[in-house]
Amino acid sequence: MNPYKILNIDYRADKRGIIEAVALAMRERKFSVQEVAIAQKELLNPIDRAAHDFLQFVDVKPLQEQLILSKPQEQTVFDLNRLSIFDENS
Amino acid sequence: MKKKNKSFESILARAEKLFDKENYLLAKKEFEKAEKLEKQNNITEKLKICKQEIEKLKVKDLIKKARKHTKKKKLRNALECFEEAYKISKEDSIRERIEALNRILRDSDIEKAARNAETAGQYLKAAELYEKAFASSKQDAHLLKRALCLVKAEKYKDAVSVFKDMNFSDTCSLYNYGFALAKVGQHYKCLKTWDDITAKDNDFLEQKEIVRSILAKDIYNRFTSAEDFVRLYKEGKYLLDSTGRQDLAELVEYCKYAWIKELWTDEQYETIWELVFDFPATVEPALIALYAKTCFKLAQSSGTRLTDLAMFWLTAVYNSELSGKFSSEAKEREIIRQKLIRMAEAVIKQDINSKDKTAQLALTYWDIDKKLIKYIVALTKDRKEMFHLVCTPRFANLFGKSAQILRLIKKNKNFFENTEHYLMTGCYYSSAWQSMYHLETGQYKKAFDSLPEVIDEDEFATYGMLKVKFFCGLYCLEIGDRQLKQCFDALPALFDISSDYEKKLIEKAIESYELDELNRYEEILNIIHIKRPSKEIKNALSLVMSRRAIQMYNKNQVNDKTLNMILQKALALNPKNEHARVSLDDSKIELKIIALDKAISKYKMNKACKIAVESKSEKVRSCFFEFMDYNIKALYEMNAEYEEKLFFLKDSYKWCAIVDKSHPMLYELNEMIRHLEVK
């Protein structure tokens, strides 16, 4: 169960944002009342929330930042001329 | 020569005869002659039939000729024949043939014109004509020729639109389609198409290289304008894989992570795993987290990657950099870590009762890893530079950290409770790690087969090898597999590390009662006894030996003498072996009774008395007296002479007295003697 998905919020959501999201989720009825309640409970508990913060999101930024993005080696590109070697009667 | 009868009747008769024979041509001539002589309705009717039949024959003949022409590809001649036949018969089927032939001839004309245009370099005109030819023939060949002419006419976009919906595998079409794709800027597609061309022509290979360079440049340009990362990754990866050019490697990697981010949102964990499965040589914390989380999600949603979850999850949650983000408070950090561990454990356990044994296997792995990683955490405590070594054994092996961890373990030998604890921890990080996991999951054969080929002086791997051999050996002893006898060759070294193994083997040996099992245990205990004689092994061997001897005796597989010999051997090993002692006494008694029986049956009473006197066994003496009692009573009842009976009874009294002066039988005998003497 991903409480962030159930409440349709991102990891920056504060307490107020969570409560608002709960009300909306209850109205939308996409998830059961129990699921919404558990999601709320877990996100309002700092330990559970920290665990979910670790599990539910991936941070690829550090992986991207360590990459050195260089321009590919320049090669003299000649114009392409059609080859006739593969023509049926060649 | 006989002259023809020219009378009307004879002409008519001849005509009728020919008509009956279906020779309508001659019949017609004769009927005409007859009609000239005399007009009759009947003749007119017959003439009509003859004409009709002649026409039919002519049509048949013409169709035959037309078919022959068709076969010889003389379509125009065939058409003439069909047309002539149709003039006569007006049959629909002939008309259809005429139409078809006309179509073919017309197409052929178009094709010819197209070919001529192509030869003359009028490619656009040729393309149009091929299109016309296709409209009529519906042959893909015409369409392919059209596409080729469009390429030649440098109408690449049109050519691509023709080629793209077609199936073809001929080199000419593949090349020209690829060329057109390259010209319209679809370099990746061009290369993929050209990959199907097996020809190694230099010009072609050069051209392919040019397209690759253009594609590389294009990927970079699109990347800088933040285009579709998925496409960029796929195209870049293709270039990397097909050319090995490394200048794009980091860019492709960047796109991969950008794509992974999208995939994570879409919960496409399988695809993420496929993308990251190609493990790099070194691994960053963020990547460890990615592995761990992907495994968690896959395990949770589909029950897959369970053993990988154990490997990555524990490494991730104990990683200092990753867990540092849980909380700034160490205590809270630990609580969160334990919560995450429980979450993963629950995922592994969710399928534990299913028929599939993977969950059970993963749980065993998990338990091992959970225990081991705690030792490494303790070893690296407060040593920041060592934090990166905190990982599970399989992770260490995968990312080349094992050697460093083993050095750490060696340096901190005193940390461990005892030698075995130290060796066991190191063993999981040694080259014998795989065998150890198999062993713990009860896969003995796999454990044995995956032992490292070279162990050298590695104390951890050696311990692993000994342990695996020991448990494989026990397993083989239980199931009766003699093939793995070599398991016990080096075993004494393991007993030196921990006597628990010796105890375990002895326990198992003592628990055995079946003859086959006893055989195997005796053999193995003998090997160990020779290599490392210990009191415990001696005692166990002695017991197994005596048990086996008795079992064999009971099954008539050994005689008394052999039994006696084996029991004496067992007692020599352990004089306190009560089982052997009692059995040996019994065996000795049995032997005495046999000797007694033999002496008595040969009436060697002195010898019999001697055996009974010398034997300390009550059983032997009882046997002696039982025999005497039986014989005396039998004689006393017999109709023998009075003196003879008296003589025998006195002898018997003497023998019995030699054996036991106070035996009640002597009183009985005395009574009998007195009774006879009074008589």
Chain A contact present for B115, CB below 8 A? no
Best probe of the B interface among A64, A65, A68, A78, by most B CBs < 10 A, is: A64
Classify residue B95 as exposed, middle or buried by CB count within 10 Å of its CB (0-12, 13-18, 19+): middle
At residue B642, does pLDDT exceed 70?
A: yes
Which ipTM score applies to this complex?
0.90
Amino acid letter for position B176: N
Using pLDDT thresholds of 50, 70 and 90, give the confidence band for residue B153: very high
Chain B contact present for A87, CB below 8 A? yes
Number of domains present in the structure of chain A: 1
Mean pLDDT of chain B: 88
Q: Which residues of B touch A88 (CB under 8 A)?
A: 170, 172
pLDDT, mean of residues B329-333: 94
Contact call for A55 and B245, based on CB within 8 A: no
Chain A contact present for B286, CB below 8 A? yes
Distances (CA, A) of B570 to B238, B512, B514, B567: 74, 17, 18, 5
Chain A contact present for B193, CB below 8 A? no
Contact call for B261 and A83, based on CB within 8 A: no
Residue B21 is classified by DSSP as T
Say if residues B11 and B34 touch (Cβ distance below 8 Å).
Answer: yes
The secondary structure of B531-566 as a DSSP string is HS--HHHHHHHHHHHHHHHHHHHHTTSS-HHHHHHH
The token duo for B295 is: 């495994």
Whole-number percent of chain B with pLDDT over 70: 98
Chain A contact present for B266, CB below 8 A? no
* pLDDT attached to residue A89: 55
Q: Which residues of A touch B340 (CB under 8 A)?
A: 51, 54-55
Which has the closest alpha carbon to B624: B580, B592, B650? Answer: B592
Q: CATH code at A73?
A: 1.10.287
Condensed to tens digits (0 to 9), the pLDDT of residues B4-20 reads: 567 888 888 888 999 99
Chain B contact present for A64, CB below 8 A? yes
Q: Give the chain A residue whose CA is nearest to the CA of B187.
A: A80
At residue B148, does pLDDT exceed 90?
A: yes
The beta-carbon neighbor of B260 closest among A58, A72, A86 is: A58
Using pLDDT thresholds of 50, 70 and 90, give the confidence band for residue B666: confident
**Helices B358-380 and B306-318, interaxial angle, to 10°?**
20
Length of chain A: 90
Say if residues A7 and A39 touch (Cβ distance below 8 Å).
Answer: yes
Residue with tokens 């016990």: B488
* pLDDT attached to residue A76: 59
Residue with tokens 């199936």: B167
Contact call for A80 and B217, based on CB within 8 A: no
User: Distance between CA atoms of B540 and B522, rounded to whole angstroms?
Assistant: 9
Q: Which residues of B touch A50 (CB under 8 A)?
A: 326-327, 332, 336
Q: Which residues of A touch B197 (CB under 8 A)?
A: 86
Instruction: Please list the pLDDT of chain A residue by residue as tens digits (90 residues).
Output: 899 999 999 888 999 999 999 999 999 999 999 999 999 999 999 999 999 999 999 999 999 998 888 777 766 556 788 998 888 754
Classify residue B306 as exposed, middle or buried by CB count within 10 Å of its CB (0-12, 13-18, 19+): buried
The beta-carbon neighbor of A47 closest among B203, B264, B336 is: B336
The secondary structure of B329-358 as a DSSP string is SHHHHHHHHHHHHHHHHHHHHTTTTSS-TH
Amino acid letter for position B391: C
Q: Which residues of A touch B182 (CB under 8 A)?
A: 80
Q: ∠ CA(B533), CA(B537), CA(B541), 5° rounding?
A: 110
Contact call for A58 and B284, based on CB within 8 A: no
Condensed to tens digits (0 to 9), the pLDDT of residues B561-585 reads: 888 888 888 888 888 887 777 777 7
* pLDDT attached to residue A77: 57
Task: Say whether B163 sits in a helix, a strand or coil.
Answer: helix
Condensed to tens digits (0 to 9), the pLDDT of residues B286-313 reads: 999 999 999 999 999 998 999 999 999 9
* pLDDT attached to residue A75: 61
At residue B490, does pLDDT exceed 80?
A: no
Using pLDDT thresholds of 50, 70 and 90, give the confidence band for residue B1: very low
Say if residues B15 and B27 touch (Cβ distance below 8 Å).
Answer: yes
Q: Is the pTM of this model over 0.80?
A: no
The token duo for B389 is: 């070594």
Chain A with chain B: Cβ pairs closer than 8 A: 122
Using pLDDT thresholds of 50, 70 and 90, give the confidence band for residue B645: confident
Ramachandran angles phi, psi of A88, nearest 5°? -55, -40
User: Distance between CA atoms of B349 and B663, rounded to whole angstroms?
Assistant: 78
Q: Give the chain B residue whose CA is nearest to the CA of A2.
A: B297
User: Distance between CA atoms of B396 and B390, rounded to whole angstroms?
Assistant: 9
Chain B contact present for A12, CB below 8 A? no
Distance, in angstroms, between B113 CA and closest chain A CA? Answer: 17
Classify residue A37 as exposed, middle or buried by CB count within 10 Å of its CB (0-12, 13-18, 19+): middle
User: Distance between CA atoms of B403 and B183, rounded to whole angstroms?
Assistant: 54
The beta-carbon neighbor of B210 closest among A50, A77, A88 is: A77
CA quadruple B562, B567, B568, B572: dihedral positive or negative?
A: positive
Condensed to tens digits (0 to 9), the pLDDT of residues B577-624 reads: 877 777 777 777 777 787 888 888 788 888 888 888 887 778 888 888
Distance, in angstroms, between A12 CA and closest chain B CA? Answer: 15
User: Distance between CA atoms of B524 and B511, rounded to whole angstroms?
Assistant: 15
Contact call for B211 and A59, based on CB within 8 A: no
At residue B259, does pLDDT exceed 50?
A: yes
* pLDDT attached to residue B5: 60
The token duo for B464 is: 């692993």
The beta-carbon neighbor of B207 closest among A55, A66, A83 is: A83
- Domain span at residue A61? 3-86
pLDDT, mean of residues B73-101: 86
Using pLDDT thresholds of 50, 70 and 90, give the confidence band for residue B244: confident
At residue B183, does pLDDT exceed 80?
A: yes
Chain A contact present for B213, CB below 8 A? yes
Contact call for A85 and B260, based on CB within 8 A: no
At residue B182, does pLDDT exceed 70?
A: yes
pLDDT, mean of residues B417-438: 95
Distance, in angstroms, between B398 CA and closest chain A CA? Answer: 19
Measure CA of the first residue to CA of the last residue in chain B; give whole Å: 163
User: Distance between CA atoms of B176 and B566, rounded to whole angstroms?
Assistant: 91
Condensed to tens digits (0 to 9), the pLDDT of residues B522-535 reads: 888 888 888 888 88
* pLDDT attached to residue B604: 85
Chain A contact present for B49, CB below 8 A? no
Using pLDDT thresholds of 50, 70 and 90, give the confidence band for residue B115: confident
Q: Give the chain B residue whose CA is nearest to the CA of A4.
A: B265
The beta-carbon neighbor of B247 closest among A47, A54, A70 is: A70
pLDDT, mean of residues B465-487: 82
Q: Give the chain B residue whose CA is nearest to the CA of A5.
A: B265
At residue B367, does pLDDT exceed 60?
A: yes
Distances (CA, A) of B417 to B408, B412, B436, B466, B604: 16, 11, 20, 20, 73
